[in-house]
Amino acid sequence: MTERKFGGDYNPYEDYTIVFTTRRGEHYAAQRFARLFKSWPPEKQTKVAYDCLKKGFTPHLVVNYWITDEDSRQRVKLWCEGRGIKVEETPDEETKSRRARSVLATETQLIDQFSPYLSQLSMAKLLTVKKYRNATAEELQLLIGGTYRLLGDILGPRRHYRREAQQPKFLPLPELPDELFSDDLVIQVLYEHERSTAVPLYNQDPDSLFRYLREIKQTSQHPLKTDFINKLIEHFSAAENLAVSGIKGLIAGSQKDVPNEDEVSLSEFPSRHQREYAFRFLNKSVGRIDLLIGAPRTRKSGAAVFALEAAGAKATVLICPSGINKELWKREIQEKYEEEVEVLIVESERELRSLAQRGAPLRPRYLIMGYQLLSRLDINETPSMFRSLRAKLGLDSLLADEIQLAKEPEAECTKQLYALSRELPENAPRIAMTGTVIINSIEDYDAPLRILLPYRYRQPGDFTRALRNDPELVHTFLVGEELVTRWTFEEVFGQRAPVEYRVEPVPFTPFHLSVYNHVYLDDTIEDQSKRGFLRQTALDPLLIRKHYYPNHIRREIEKLRLKLGERQDDRERKITEARIQALEERLSKVTTLINPNEALSQLSQAHDQFIRWNLEQDENVKFDEDFLTRLDFDKLALWCFFNLQGGVDELVRLSHNRALQKDWVGKGGLYSSKYIRLREQLDEYKKSGDVKVIIGSGFYQSYVSSGIEDVLEEDELAFLSLYDYLRSWYGEAAELKIDGKVSIEPKAGELAERERIRRAWRTDPKYQFMLTTMRACRLGIDLSILPIRANDQIKKVVMIGLDDPDTYADKEQFLNRVEAGDRTLPVELWSYRTTNPEQPRTLRYGFIDHGIAQALEFKRLLSQLAQDGIPLTEEEETFLKSHLSSSRVRIELYPKTPLTYLNMDFFPKVRGKGAKAIIKLYQEAGFEGMTNADFFAAYYPQIEELGIAGQNARAVAEVIRRYQALTGKGHLRIGSIGAGSGILQNTLGEKVINVDLLKEILQVAKAKQQVDGDYITAEAASSPFPAGCFDVTDFSLAVHWTGNRAEYSERISALQELNRITRGLVTITIPHSYLTPVQFASWRSTLEEYFGFRFRDDLPSGLLRATDFRTEPISWIFNMEKVAQPKEGFSRSSLDFGFERVFDIITYSRENSGEKSISIRPYLPHKEFEIVDPGSGSVHKLVYQPTDVDVLEKALSEREARLTSSEVLTLSAEEFGTFRRLVREVRSLWGLKNNDAERLSLQALDLWLKEGYYRHDAVRIWSELKTIVREIHEGSNQ
């Protein structure tokens, strides 16, 4: 950003930024500037308009009044649309569509023709490049975004949006207008579309693709069209002929594990899609980089190896997940080369260092490292180490597998991988791969793309910023720049043997349901744990029993009490206390489910009922926990389950009633409804013997402290896990298990345990069942059944998911483990969902399994919407805002506004951080690529006057005037520390010495000064003033920016400095929500006792509130006189703020702001204030007397004078919405003209704001407003 100049020989008409930055002369300058603007040629108008819009000029003004050329206007409008800038009032659906049609009127024929074939995005690209071919690349991105949205307005993106990916179709090339093919850019769009459509066909049946292309070539007469088709034919022919020496033609591929070599059926390498991938990789306009997002098992690794080889790479560094994957990769690579190639696996930091220092005896073709190793390195040393590694080994290319592991920008491995990529030359080939869609949010693309383009996106967030935080542009950007390649399994391999998806409702057994309901209704579980508890309970009640077992709860409480004794801050202490309270409550609930003395008598009552039931109703009924639950002894069963080590069995043992003991069957620890259902299903498969079953679950072994061998020895609550059950049901020999406990490290000369199990599973039909955790059974593990003779008897593969994982990616990964390009066995995928034993064949909802399934679908949909650039519905936005507590999601999905950036990013980062951190932050890039300093200086003054700072300054000004009257001094020398844009000076109407950290904001202050002031850049803790130089020092709304750390408290220094530089009054104000009354008292006593200040009774301190219009708290105000020197010996924490409390308030109000209420920012011109002393409760009134040149008065009178819609844009969104609605209402009621209607509505809104309440029922607001409008209208008519 250019440095701004003020005063001197500066001519404002040369630099249009001045119009924005000087508020005082804004209106005048804008008019003059507009005249200048209109005299320019259209190109310059467009260019300057972009600049003006970026700087926050009113878009309505710029676009509709300043630009004289119609074409340029449309282009700028579209550009605004792409950036999400609203040019006029928000049009309703109908006008939106009408407008879109009029803008795209010349293209309607094209739209009709293409819409069946092209995706909305391709169409937007086509229309944009056709119309705006002279635009720069950056502009083009935004223009495409704009056209995309316009098209959405016509086509209705959501109505036509299918949840499945849009299947591309070949264009009807012969029918397309010939002139289209004379434009290079249009050809480029069409070509990219046709190419991606042709890939699946090419891969499955190249002959038919070539036949198709030759046929349409014959029917297309026009030479340009023929050229176009020739180019396509050439692309695929060249891909077909792409050959690289040294690569094997036939490989075993996924059949590497086949023990008998005769049985291996070799497959072609590279296959066609791999070949086409490599060819495209070599010829990309963006360079030889690619982010390959392919479904699991679509032969990505082969494609990457081949592409790198084709790109001439000689030594590639390969990063992959640690453990088994490194060995698998080595095997993968080696089988693809004719001659043996050197593949070096680096296991430890020591090995890496020695390689960097001494090199390797044989230059490796591949150097394999794990992400874990990267994470362990020191980022300060690695750049030089990587540099020497590159020099020693000649590394010239990068391949990163499972790149989603490096998507967190702060993660060590991400930083290291970036550093590594940065050490390679700019044009080195780089490929990153992932098996799952990595997008949960837009920012997930940031790190992978930075690793691929390290010279283009240097800082974290650069890529995201390049997208301007606009999700709708993501897809445009990625696909438009050919950064990403996507493969689905179907695209690559076509139709496979069938896959059947089945949802299996598993009815809860009565006792299992009773435990579930107990947990569901339990208020003592923390919010974030509740879901986990419910999921575990739904799988097996034993998994959560530990949390209800009294001895365990008591031990937990003891532990927490011990923790309380340690040093903790207030917040931690509060949390610990709350946890102890919750656990005590849980303990008392669990122990008093029934009166323990009555347990035995209740049991014998139940037994009596059982005998009767057995005789009268059903002789097959079992006397077990389910029976107890059914007969209203559910509390007894629960009590036993939670309180007794052996459950009801133990109570039965204690009863000494022989008959009862004989009748009692019990569930013997098998409480899980899912396990019972699973056993039924597995029994069938065991009988048939021709099915292989993979059972996956996230939790089956949580909290199992010991296996079957030492059950009940180590831990009193140990129980059998599912694996134990499987072994006891089907014998040791038939089952395999892969989970976190199965080692991935190979022993000397032997395979790793997990690898051994994996191979046994693929080749040995004896192993019919395999149990895995969803976590272990992900990432690169091939569990497909090999087509060998031994497996001939296997007819089907069944995968049973006992519970759904947290993310859709995990689920997809699990499901795809048995996929392979040559799979011939049918697959069944079962998802177990616990539900009620109600009538079958109905839709069931409400249990956690249903909820998780819904959540997965919802997440998948949102992520797909974000990627495809489909806007969210209002309801989804509301739901997201209110239900997903993470602010990250919100920020990523919605473009930031200056206000949200200020409130959600900027202020939290400066609060309590101290001058150094703030200066650093000022220099960083923030909103829309502006530095934070520029942003703050440009934006903050706009909201300052009517915001809290303005209110506060008026009150402080009045305090200073009172002090002047009390002391009888004529002229006061006033210093304002943290002066900002000089609000106090303008409010007071007297010269002030303005001190601030930020030079830029002082420049703004100087530009808008009403009286001459002095401006000095300095820190509060070390100011350049002599001692006692100020009569009055104001330290308003700035002390909360100072740091208060143990090693150095800037806050204390600043307060001591205030004492030094003042000889009279010191005024400190702090935003009202940052202190509690108790904290205020602590501050007050500390300032009085240790900082040499005396509180004046005639200038009271306390909570400052505005009282006219409506009561609004503003700040805490301290008015003190200097009487002594500061002293030492107080506690730093007595000067703390309640920031945590602020967040509580924010969260609380967010949680509770349903659709019923709207909040309105206190943009009111308050003049009457009161100061309430929280100690004595006394109230002192203050009335602000405006100065001759009062800014507020001027702003308000200007606002009244110019009641245009652009002015109303400064209202908050809710107000603006209400305003528009009111205008419409007024227009339709009395048939007024737009201007009159707006004037009337604004008057009504102002009146309502002054008389209304802070929070209100939305329906009432509307009716109140209508009444007010009616009154004004009738009044004016009379």
Partner 1 sequence: MTTEQQKAEIRMSFDRPGAEVCGDLAAHWMNHTDRRKIYKGQAKVLGLQTDSMVRFFTIEEVVLFEDSYTRERWPRSRSLAIASLSPGEVISFMSQGQHVLTFIKTQGAENIMFSSLQEIDRFGDPLRGEGHILTTSSVAKIVGLTHGMRGQLTPIHFKGDRAFLLATGARELSNEELDALEKELMEDFESLRSTP
* Interacting residues with partner 1 (CB under 8 A): 158, 502-503, 505, 513, 520-521, 523, 527, 530-531, 534, 835-852, 854-855, 857-858, 861-862, 873-876, 879, 882-883, 1152, 1154-1156, 1259, 1262
Helix axes 70-83, 93-103, angle to 10 degrees: 130
Dist. CA 963–CA 965, nearest whole Å: 5
DSSP 86: -
Smallest distance from partner 1 to CB 206, Å: 38
| Of residues 285, 175, 184, the one with CA closest to residue 231 | 184
Smallest distance from partner 1 to CB 876, Å: 6
Smallest distance from partner 1 to CB 163, Å: 9
Angle at the Cα of 815 from the Cα atoms of 810 and 817, rounded to 5 degrees = 100
Smallest distance from partner 1 to CB 901, Å: 28
Smallest distance from partner 1 to CB 471, Å: 16
Dist. CA 30–CA 20, nearest whole Å: 9
Greatest CA separation for the chain: 109
Smallest distance from partner 1 to CB 539, Å: 13
For CA atoms 200, 204, 210, 215, give the dihedral sign: negative
Smallest distance from partner 1 to CB 1152, Å: 7
- Residue located via tokens 């350049």: 1024
Smallest distance from partner 1 to CB 1221, Å: 8
- Residue with smaller CB distance to partner 1, 519 or 988: 519
- Residue with smaller CB distance to partner 1, 133 or 502: 502
Integer Rg of the chain from CA: 36
Dist. CA 631–CA 610, nearest whole Å: 9
Dist. CA 607–CA 617, nearest whole Å: 15
For residue 706, give the amino acid letter.
S
- Residue with smaller CB distance to partner 1, 359 or 532: 532
Q: Are strands 993-996 and 1014-1017 parallel, antiparallel or unpaired?
A: parallel
- Residue with smaller CB distance to partner 1, 410 or 1155: 1155
Kindly report whether the peptide bond that precedes residue 270 is cis, defined as omega within 30 degrees of 0: yes
Asked if 1249 and 1222 touch (Cβ cutoff 8 Å), the reply is no
Smallest distance from partner 1 to CB 1159, Å: 16
Which helix (H) or strand (E) covers residue 793, if one does?
A: none
- Residue with smaller CB distance to partner 1, 619 or 1155: 1155
User: 3-class SS at 672?
Assistant: coil
- Residue with smaller CB distance to partner 1, 216 or 503: 503
- Residue with smaller CB distance to partner 1, 538 or 1039: 538
- Residue with smaller CB distance to partner 1, 867 or 1115: 867
- Residue with smaller CB distance to partner 1, 837 or 1024: 837
- Residue with smaller CB distance to partner 1, 879 or 894: 879
Smallest distance from partner 1 to CB 513, Å: 8
Asked if 65 and 34 touch (Cβ cutoff 8 Å), the reply is yes
User: What residues form DSSP beta bridges with 1113?
Assistant: 1105
Which helix (H) or strand (E) covers residue 279, if one does?
A: helix 272-282
Smallest distance from partner 1 to CB 521, Å: 8
- List Cβ neighbours of 198 (8 Å cut-off, separation of 6 or more): 170, 209, 213, 232, 236
User: 3-class SS at 828?
Assistant: strand
Dist. CA 332–CA 334, nearest whole Å: 6
DSSP 173: G
| Of residues 254, 323, 256, the one with CA closest to residue 746 | 323
Dist. CA 614–CA 621, nearest whole Å: 6
- Residue located via tokens 């430890």: 348
- Residue with smaller CB distance to partner 1, 159 or 350: 159
| Of residues 322, 371, 362, the one with CA closest to residue 343 | 362
- Residue with smaller CB distance to partner 1, 227 or 1257: 1257
- Residue with smaller CB distance to partner 1, 876 or 1088: 876
First to last CA, the chain: 55
For residue 988, give the amino acid letter.
L
Tokens of 677: 């259902």
- Residue with smaller CB distance to partner 1, 362 or 843: 843
Smallest distance from partner 1 to CB 891, Å: 20
Tokens of 3: 């440095």
Asked if 1083 and 1114 touch (Cβ cutoff 8 Å), the reply is no
- List Cβ neighbours of 24 (8 Å cut-off, separation of 6 or more): 1007, 1008
Smallest distance from partner 1 to CB 823, Å: 24
Distance of CA 129 to the CA centre of its chain: 32
Asked if 957 and 984 touch (Cβ cutoff 8 Å), the reply is yes
Dist. CA 1166–CA 1109, nearest whole Å: 7
User: 3-class SS at 59?
Assistant: helix
- Residue located via tokens 């205030």: 1058
Q: Are strands 430-434 and 289-294 parallel, antiparallel or unpaired?
A: parallel
Smallest distance from partner 1 to CB 529, Å: 11
Smallest distance from partner 1 to CB 828, Å: 13
- Residue with smaller CB distance to partner 1, 257 or 849: 849
Smallest distance from partner 1 to CB 889, Å: 15
Smallest distance from partner 1 to CB 517, Å: 8
Angle at the Cα of 1050 from the Cα atoms of 1047 and 1052, rounded to 5 degrees = 100
Smallest distance from partner 1 to CB 93, Å: 11
- Residue with smaller CB distance to partner 1, 521 or 733: 521
Asked if 543 and 803 touch (Cβ cutoff 8 Å), the reply is no
- Residue with smaller CB distance to partner 1, 177 or 837: 837
- Residue with smaller CB distance to partner 1, 794 or 861: 861
Q: How many residues appear in the chain? A: 1278
